[in-house]
Chains A and B, each alone.
Chain A
Amino acid sequence: AQSVTQLGSHVSVSEGALVLLRCNYSSSVPPYLFWYVQYPNQGLQLLLKYTSAATLVKGINGFEAEFKKSETSFHLTKPSAHMSDAAEYFCAVSAPDQGGKLIFGQGTELSVKP
Chain B
Amino acid sequence: GAVVSQHPSWVICKSGTSVKIECRSLDFQATTMFWYRQFPKQSLMLMATSNEGSKATYEQGVEKDKFLINHASLTLSTLTVTSAHPEDSSFYICSARRLFGTGLYNEQFFGPGTRLTVL
Is B63 an interface position by the 8 A CB rule?
no
How far, in Å, is A60 (CB) from chain B's closest CB? 14
Is B85 an interface position by the 8 A CB rule?
no
Given contacts A102-B34, A105-B43, A107-B43, contact A96 B112 (CB under 8 A): no
State which size class the interface on A falls in. Answer: 20 to 34
How far, in Å, is B87 (CB) from chain A's closest CB? 20
The closest CB in chain B to the CB of A49 belongs to B107
Interface residue tally for chain B (C-beta within 8 Å)? 25
Which B residues have a C-beta under 8 Å from some C-beta of A? 4, 6, 32, 34, 41-44, 46, 49, 91, 93, 95, 97, 103, 105-113, 115
A-B contact pairs, 24 of them (CB 8 A): A32-B106, A41-B91, A41-B113, A42-B112, A43-B4, A43-B112, A44-B95, A45-B110, A46-B109, A49-B107, A90-B43, A90-B44, A99-B97, A100-B34, A100-B97, A100-B105, A100-B108, A102-B34, A102-B46, A102-B95, A104-B44, A106-B43, A107-B43, A109-B41
